[in-house]
Chains A and B, each alone.
Chain A
């Protein structure tokens, strides 16, 4: 019973088609300002999806994930300033930085549970943020890192990435690759193991899984992808400041998979779209959007479990075979 009722498949395919069309035609569809905003959504979507792997799949709620995003930005930015303006090198350096930070902090964090994990990730994020403020010589302190040269894409003209349309497609390509990697991992046996760890860690241990190692791997991988997103961000906007690493940024990021539906990568993308859009609307209407952020948090906490439960009842009836995404359940 592997084929779904035709109507649902048609609807799904239609939805994907629309998404693809919008993604491909964005430079035509949007004004320059909106295109920039849309690119920001794409970048956050990737970062949010990486966080979803941690929260929605492995059940590891991190309050410091924006630190990876910001770290990737700083790493790529500093590479462009001091090393080379090659875009790809910047991406690689960012991923290495993200993975390293992930290993160092993850080794300690994954040994803790629940509340302690939350607080540790928060603390590590704050550590990185305060570092970016105090190490003025390297990072420019609170003024941020400026003077980042435009990235160069080998095989293309030197000023290829100076044009907004080309920049957009570059970001789209990187984000697509990132999503691809996340998807492969999430639907793999490893991904299912992460779900198992979320569902019942003690059971997994008794079944022979080295749980801490798996958690660390997920943590490092998610951090690496978030750093990739951060690198793309800085290559796009050519600026980064300590704000990007802040606790508020982490909360902002955490809202995305939670709003969009934790446990499904495209849900994180939807969440990213919603949250960025909301922030844009709220901060242009009011002065600062913390109030909106607070209300949003309350909505997610109070109202969403019901929404989540309803979507679950639908998906459980679908038989899951190897290669299909694991059930999108989140026990918070």
Chain B
């Protein structure tokens, strides 16, 4: 039985000293669709992502993935369960080629990561699936280029491709459009739309992009969830305007 909520946060809190970066956030993300997480700088969005992905542990509350309590589980365990995250600043294997980057992600997905021996058939499958992934994300022509030499937009694309490679049910994108041109943003919107069978949660400052792709928007301010609703609700909301404009308090 698949639980209706792919991700559920219950009173999740993270304190750094006396500062509550995330303050008793309760959020439910149902399967499918695209949830956007917005809010002014310092609202705690990235901290929330790090809590969900497992990079840091919460001071309080629970995190449930597909109904299972993952609060105490490590980041790599959560990824194996079907949750993938991208980093805010592209975190790639700069010294390896694009192909090798994807291969590393793909071999884990195919269960080959720990094998000290892979026969011809498995090697062929790995190569084939990596090739597929390269084509699907439009990185084919860049396959042999060193990841460290890619342009910014290409790096963001590889970043997302790596996360998608692990075949996640839940995909967390941390500011995927950062530094992208208008054309690249269009491509990104297409990409996100193509991921519709998975559930996507993204942090974004680009409000236009958010209004295009998001089915529901959650607004965070000073660590608290202040509003949740559809694009039209949120864009007209006074609370949201205050959160952004009144950020200087």
- A166-185: CB near B (< 8 Å → 1, else 0) gives 00000000000000000011
User: Is B92's beta carbon under 8 Å from chain A?
Assistant: yes
Contact status of A208 and B114, CB under 8 A, knowing A200-B91, A322-B126: no
User: Is A15's beta carbon under 8 Å from chain B?
Assistant: no
A204 touches B75 (CB 8 A): no
Contact status of A322 and B118, CB under 8 A, knowing A190-B113, A206-B85, A208-B166: yes
Interface locus among B5-13, B76-84, B224-232: B76-84
B113 touches A320 (CB 8 A): no
B118 touches A188 (CB 8 A): yes
Output the least CB separation between A10 and chain B (Å).
25
A209 touches B91 (CB 8 A): no
| B95, B109, B146: residue with the most chain A Cβ atoms closer than 10 Å | B95
A209 touches B127 (CB 8 A): no
User: Is A199's beta carbon under 8 Å from chain B?
Assistant: yes
- Find chain A residues with CB under 8 A from B117 CB: 184, 188
User: Is B100's beta carbon under 8 Å from chain A?
Assistant: yes
B93 touches A199 (CB 8 A): yes
- B64-107: CB near A (< 8 Å → 1, else 0) gives 00000000001111011000110100011111110110011101
A203 touches B92 (CB 8 A): yes
User: Is A288's beta carbon under 8 Å from chain B?
Assistant: no
- Find chain B residues with CB under 8 A from A184 CB: 116-117
- Find chain B residues with CB under 8 A from A191 CB: 116
B92 touches A209 (CB 8 A): no
Contact status of A206 and B103, CB under 8 A, knowing A190-B113, A190-B116, A322-B123: no
Output the least CB separation between A213 and chain B (Å).
8
- Find chain B residues with CB under 8 A from A323 CB: 123
Output the least CB separation between A267 and chain B (Å).
17
- Find chain A residues with CB under 8 A from B76 CB: 204-211
Q: Complex: how many Å from CA A329 to CA B146?
A: 13
- Find chain A residues with CB under 8 A from B53 CB: 206
A206 touches B79 (CB 8 A): yes
Q: Complex: how many Å from CA A214 to CA B114?
A: 8
Residue of B80, B87, B93, B116 touching A208 (CB-CB under 8 A): B80
- Find chain A residues with CB under 8 A from B74 CB: 205, 210
Residue of A190, A209, A319 touching B115 (CB-CB under 8 A): A190
B104 touches A316 (CB 8 A): no
A206 touches B104 (CB 8 A): no
Q: Complex: how many Å from CA A144 to CA B212?
A: 76
- Find chain A residues with CB under 8 A from B144 CB: 319
B103 touches A207 (CB 8 A): no
User: Is A189's beta carbon under 8 Å from chain B?
Assistant: yes
User: Is B200's beta carbon under 8 Å from chain A?
Assistant: no
User: Is A327's beta carbon under 8 Å from chain B?
Assistant: yes
A203 touches B107 (CB 8 A): no
- A312-332: CB near B (< 8 Å → 1, else 0) gives 000010011111001101010
User: Is A232's beta carbon under 8 Å from chain B?
Assistant: no
User: Is B112's beta carbon under 8 Å from chain A?
Assistant: yes
Q: Complex: how many Å from CA A284 to CA B165?
A: 58
B91 touches A203 (CB 8 A): yes
Residue of A at shortest CB range from B85?
A206
Residue of B at shortest CB range from A217?
B114
User: Is B108's beta carbon under 8 Å from chain A?
Assistant: yes
Residue of A at shortest CB range from B111?
A189
Output the least CB separation between B23 and chain A (Å).
26
B113 touches A209 (CB 8 A): yes
B114 touches A206 (CB 8 A): no
Output the least CB separation between B213 and chain A (Å).
23
- Find chain B residues with CB under 8 A from A203 CB: 87, 91-93, 162
- Find chain B residues with CB under 8 A from A208 CB: 76, 79-80, 108-109, 166
User: Is A215's beta carbon under 8 Å from chain B?
Assistant: no
Contact status of A189 and B75, CB under 8 A, knowing A199-B96, A207-B162: no
- B41-83: CB near A (< 8 Å → 1, else 0) gives 0000000000001010000000000000000001111011000
Contact status of A192 and B108, CB under 8 A, knowing A199-B93, A322-B126: no
User: Is A235's beta carbon under 8 Å from chain B?
Assistant: no
Q: Complex: how many Å from CA A321 to CA B97?
A: 11
User: Is A250's beta carbon under 8 Å from chain B?
Assistant: no
Interface residues of A in 211-227 (CB under 8 A from B): 211, 214, 217
Residue of B79, B99, B115 touching A189 (CB-CB under 8 A): B115
- Find chain B residues with CB under 8 A from A206 CB: 53, 55, 75-76, 79, 84-85, 87, 91, 163
Residue of A205, A320, A329 touching B75 (CB-CB under 8 A): A205
**B→A interface (CB under 8 Å):** 53, 55, 74-77, 79-80, 84-85, 87, 91-97, 99-100, 103-105, 107-109, 112-118, 123, 126-127, 144, 146, 162-163, 165-166
A199-B94, A327-B96 are known contacts; what are 4 more A-B pairs with Cβ within 8 Å? A204-B76, A206-B79, A209-B113, A214-B113
| Ranked 10 nearest A-B pairs via Cβ | A208-B79, A322-B123, A189-B112, A208-B80, A199-B93, A188-B116, A196-B104, A205-B76, A190-B116, A189-B107
**A→B interface (CB under 8 Å):** 184-185, 188-193, 195-196, 199-200, 202-211, 214, 217, 316, 319-323, 326-327, 329, 331
Chain A to chain B contacts (Cβ below 8 Å), 7 pairs = A184-B116, A204-B76, A206-B84, A206-B163, A210-B76, A322-B126, A329-B95
